[in-house]
Structure 1
Amino acid sequence: MKQSIQIFFVLTLFLLAPLSGCFGEEDETKPVAELEVDETQSMTAARGQFYTLSVESTVDWTISRSPGAFFQDEFGVLRDDVNYTLPASQTEITMLILDSERDTVELNITAGDQAWNATLMLEDSQDLMLVDGRRAYDTIDMLTSSYNNRWCGSASVHEGGAAYEAAAEAMAENMRGMGFDFVEVTRYDDDPDQLNVVGYNWGRVNPDEYIVIGGHFDIAYVFTPPGGGTNEGANDDTSGSTVSLEMAQALAQMEFDHTVVAGLWACEEEGLLGSLAYVAHLPENVSVKAYMNFDMVSLNYPIVPRTEPIIGPGGEIFSATRYDWSIDIAGASDENMNRMHDWVGQTIEDDLAYTPTEGNPIMWNIAESCASDHCAFFSEGYPTFNFFSPGGEISFWQEWHSPSDTLEFMTAKAGGQEEMASGFNSLVWSSLDLFIRVDNAEDFHGTWKE
């Protein structure tokens, strides 16, 4: 009889279990969506700075943005997503506001059936920005004041590269101070003259995939055609080294999925020797996701050429009609080069909202050339962006490898320090925008993989 009662009790529990939940556990009810955005915080943000928005939601929430900003994830990595979903436990979202010509960024947050919309008003930053043309101008002033005669050591017609080596060691110390994980002046056993200055910020997800930026650090030595050589090389290519260093000071302190590499290349004037040596000595397990090259980039949008002639230091008469800025793309499959081409358009036209004129056009093309260090990378199948703005045809032929390639002359042609700084500013913000897009890109590689 006792056994029958036990069997009846077990059967009763078994039959009642579906009606009573999981043996006493309470049902999990879906939370009611509630969304609250702190209305006391300012709806004005400074261009070129980070902006944080406080949000409270009882459910997962999604924030959407218009062009002109990037979201920052929980690891500090900037994301190019237009719609970004966060867990209910996250109560803040940080954005990098680009230094664009936009007046506003539109924001929209949804959480279940709740929604919030706002227009973020943009204003110029009173402080130096994440990357900033004003700081870049100070850098080119420092380089052309303290580190001239940077002639590559493998040339036989000058002082053996002592001034170049001293400058390279000084820039290595400068880059260590920026916070890179590792900085070196390369001294290859089989090519000892290629003293590249290279800084590394290791990627948190794909450390063996490099995104490289750079420009050549050497200048044209005595008797170099067509102009006979230069002491400063302000445009060719102290300007490119300047942009690389301005990018570097920001990239060294930030987090990225891929490894950041900032390079100042040796001996470009003798045949891209420094960058060729760097590519040849890459570790076997490393690939280059993309390379961005800066060569002769002193005069860019939004600088407008002076209308009156300018007399150069050698008595040259300068009268430019326009300052061209081109971004040439190479080194990937047709599909990925089209993606790169689209990225440039989105960067220039959408994110930064630049409005070039006939006097300062911006062009982007799918084109190969071996006139600078990007050739060392795309020849090995790595995707490249080459930034080039020689300052108009007349200017280019007057100052190329010439004693007239001075910072004073370049600044005069720009119309002053503020104008030249504005040209550097457009370069560093467009290249930072593209860098973030490359870091976020999936299934993106060069022809080396095909």
Structure 2
Amino acid sequence: MGRDARRALGLVCIMMFAPLSGCFGEEGDGGLIGENDVTVTPETLIGGIFQGLTISADRDLSAFVPYLMMNPDTGFVQNSTVVDLKAGQSVLLTVLAPPRTDTAVVLLGDYGRENWPIRELNESWKTWWERGGYEGKSSQGIKRIVGDNGTLDTVQVSGSNGGAVTPVLLSIMRPEAPGFSEAEGSRHSTGMVDGRTVFNYINVMSDETPDPTDLADGAVGYLDRWAGQGNAAYEDAAQYLIQTMENFGLEVITQRFVYDSLMTGSQNPEAYNICGYRWGEVDRDKWMVFGAHFDIAPPINGGMLDPHIFGRTYGTRVGAYDNTAGTSMVLTVAEAMADHSTRNTMVFCLWSGEEGGKRGSDFWTDYWVKEDNPNVEVTNYVNLDMAGVNWPGGGGAPCGDGHGGGEGNCDPEPQVDPDGYPKDEEVWPMRVYIGPSLDHDVMNQPGMVGLAMWIGSDAIGVEEQMSPLLGEGYDAETWKVDDWMAKDRPEIIVYEDTTARSDHATFQDNLGTVTMGFGGLVDGYWCYHQTCDTVDEMIDWMDTTGKDYGEEHSGTSNLVDALDTITWWATYSFFHLDENPIRNAYLDE
């Protein structure tokens, strides 16, 4: 059924339910608030950017706008508002239209209304409307909170939803950048952040084109980023990242540290942690941190041999997936957020020494924060590590064109690992992992899990692919795969992890910070920590053309889509967590 047909059906339903609800209808008559009592412009929003949204009232009414928006008095981004309008009045709001869905709603009610229904955590506003959520019979609720000093009202969760409302539907369209074809990722190439920009950063850093004038790595890109080696290539990459962040307008602060070997007692220079700061305008000492490690797996065990031919060893020159992709997402979000005023300080960090044991983030949390900045509270941390080779890719490992190691001339297929991350030959879930959590069968950080679900189901547009995992009734070693299978192998999973294999572990352990992280296929990816961890390999794994899985798109198109999904999810998380940080539930006990 097309959008216009659904909208027409919805209007019929509204008219049918009006006599029962006594609260809304298509026409404004008597005490009813109807769609014709208000004009909302534009009718089509541009997805992924802040833009003006005007609401003009022909009679006294209130309107609930459930989206991120810019507060004109403070310059900060807030989640939702309720406005009261007398007949003949209008209001202009600066709203961020969701980037990855096609429908937005504005809800109408009686003038001065306090409580309003909202959607469930796992559904979009479009699904909420289609199931009749505007009737207010089963929806959750919010209550308006009067804004300080005349600023926009805000909202908070309430036990009452106030009953039925009148929904006004708006369409959302995200344009495509003219310089790219669909196969090159044009579907996700515009907006405040976008997957194509992330992909461009990955290409810049992973460019293997020979450059004989570059004495560091002999290439155009920034290869050989092996921490702990004291090598010129790592230093060269660090300088590139420092300059890039400074160009965004961030204040860059670095820490150079030394690693003492527990086995030999020798000292080894670990190069840089590189962090860009956008200082908070309300509380400078509350830090939200967004990070990824930029070191890559060094060659050991006779490494630097192609596993497609010689079998697996260890080490890579490029590290496109692990972790140039994460580094590039941090750069993309930092560039976009640098121009936004925030209540708390935003810190964008690129860690050193993760491959050697999370040593860079461990140093930063234990010494830079706890010793050098003891007044600082790190409110939340978002981690990017090995994200991008996941849904919407899948359907089987790539074959031909230099691939091998599995059957025929194919890469080995990902296999079910009962005590590992969920995956099989067909489905490679995008993972949204949250912690700290000590129990596999109890949801210990419901606030962060709920935020991840709320963002994913509407703004990110993945309500059909997304499901939370919980280990209740399952063995502690196998619960993730058990619950994933029981829920019919969802393509995006949100879960609390009792183990941590990346830099988020140090924030949980050293600071007690609640973290959210994003990742994809790990142990099932044949080029994990191998010489073939290149951009071309990522593209080949993400290609679904000719596969009986998902939608047919090129590898580049799907990869850009995946990068776009994660980057937007992280950006929305930052805005929400700036307004309402989520503290560690264990610390409240």
Q: TM-score range by the shorter chain?
A: 0.7 to 0.9
Distance 1:228-1:125 versus aligned 2 partners, 3 A rule: same
Q: Does residue 215 in structure 1 map to residue 292 in structure 2?
A: yes
| Residue 166 (structure 1) aligned to one of 220, 224, 236 | 236
Native 8 Å contact 1:60 1:85 kept in 2: no
Q: Which residues in structure 2 correspond to 1:139-288 (within 5 Å)? A: 139-145=201-207, 146-152=221-227, 154-155=228-229, 160-180=230-250, 182-188=251-257, 193-223=270-300, 227-280=313-366, 281-282=368-369, 283-288=373-378
Task: Report if aligned partners of 1:332, 1:445 keep a CA contact under 8 Å in 2.
Answer: no
User: For residues 14-413 of structure 1, what are the structure 2 equivalents within 5 Å?
Assistant: 39=39, 41-55=41-55, 62-66=62-66, 69-74=67-72, 75-81=74-80, 83-85=81-83, 91-101=91-101, 103-108=102-107, 112=111, 118-127=168-177, 128-145=190-207, 146-152=221-227, 154-155=228-229, 160-180=230-250, 182-188=251-257, 193-223=270-300, 227-280=313-366, 281-282=368-369, 283-301=373-391, 303-307=392-396, 309-311=398-400, 313=402, 315-316=404-405, 317-318=410-411, 319=413, 320-331=425-436, 337-354=445-462, 355-356=464-465, 361-380=491-510, 381-390=512-521, 393-395=523-525, 398-413=526-541
Would the aligned equivalents of 2:342 and 2:578 in 1 still touch at CA under 8 Å? yes
When structure 1 is superposed on structure 2, of 283-292 and 92-101 the one drifting more is: 92-101
Deviation at 1:130, TM superposition (A): 0.6
Runs of 5+ consecutive residues of structure 1 not aligned to the other structure = 1-35
What is the CA–CA distance in structure 2 between the aligned matches of 1:346 and 1:76, rounded to whole Å?
Answer: 24
Matched-pair contact (CA < 8 Å) for 2:99–2:459: no
- 2:306 is matched with none
TM-score w.r.t. length of structure 2: 0.62
- Is contact 1:329-1:341 (8 Å) kept? yes
How many angstroms does 1:347 deviate by?
1.5
Q: Is the 8 A contact 1:382 1:447 kept in 2?
A: no
Contact map agreement 1:37 1:54 (CA 8 A) in 2: no
Q: Structure 2: how far apart are the matches of 1:86 and 1:322? A: 48
What amino acid is aligned across from residue 338 of structure 2 in structure 1? A
Alignment deviations for residues 81-135 of structure 1 (CA, whole Å, 9 cap, x no partner)? 3x4347999942111012123x211113568379996322111223521110011
* Partner Cα distance (2:582, 2:505) in 1: 23
Deviation of 1:63 after TM superposition, in Å, equals 3.5
- 1:422 alignment counterpart: 561
Shift of residue 359, structure 1, vs aligned partner: 7.6
Q: Give me the whole-angstrom Cα distance separating, in 1, the residues matched to 2:450 and 2:111.
A: 34
* Whole-Å separation in 2 of the counterparts to 1:194 and 1:446: 35
Which residue pairs with 1:19 in the alignment? none
Aligned length: 402
- The equivalent of 1:432 in structure 2 is 571
Match of 1:423, SS?
Answer: helix
Q: Which has the larger radius of gyration?
A: 1
- Does the 8 A contact of 2:315 with 2:530 survive in 1? yes
How many angstroms apart in 2 are the aligned matches of 1:220 and 1:187?
19
How many angstroms apart in 1 are the aligned matches of 2:575 and 2:365?
23
Greater relative contact order (CA < 8 Å, ≥ 6 in sequence): 1
Pick from 434, 444, 447: which aligns with 2:583? 444
Shift in Å at residue 234 of structure 1? 1.0
- Aligned-residue CA RMSD (Å): 3.3
Counterpart residue type for residue 325 of structure 1? M
> 2:389–2:520: 8 Å Cα contact kept in structure 1?
yes
Contact 2:293 2:326 in 1 (8 A): yes
* CA–CA separation in structure 2 for the residues paired with 1:231 and 1:272: 20
- Which stretch shows the higher mean deviation, 318-327 or 103-112? 103-112
Q: Relative to 1, partners in 2 of residues 1:446 and 1:273: Cα closer, same or farther, differing over 3 Å?
A: farther
Answer whether contact 2:435 2:445 (CA < 8 A) is retained. Answer: yes
* Maintained 8 Å contact 1:325/1:360: no
SS of the equivalent of 2:272 reads coil
Task: Write the letter of the residue equivalent to 2:225.
Answer: R
- 8 Å Cα contact 1:231/1:403 also seen in 2: yes
Separation in 2, partners of 1:197, 1:233: 18
Cα separation, 2, equivalents of 1:299 and 1:186 = 31
1:370 positional shift: 3.1
CA drift of 1:442 comes to 5.7
Quote the offset at 1:270 in angstroms: 0.7
Structure 1 residue 61, shift from structure 2 partner: 7.8
Q: Give the secondary structure class of the aligned counterpart of 1:98.
A: coil
Q: Is the 8 A contact 2:50 2:94 kept in 1?
A: yes
Q: Following the alignment from structure 2 to structure 1, what is the Cα–Cα distance between the partners of residues 325 and 556?
A: 14
* Partners of 2:277 and 2:347 within 8 A in 1: yes
The answer to whether the 8 Å contact 1:217/1:241 transfers is: yes
Verify the 8 A CA contact 1:310 1:413 in the aligned structure 2: no
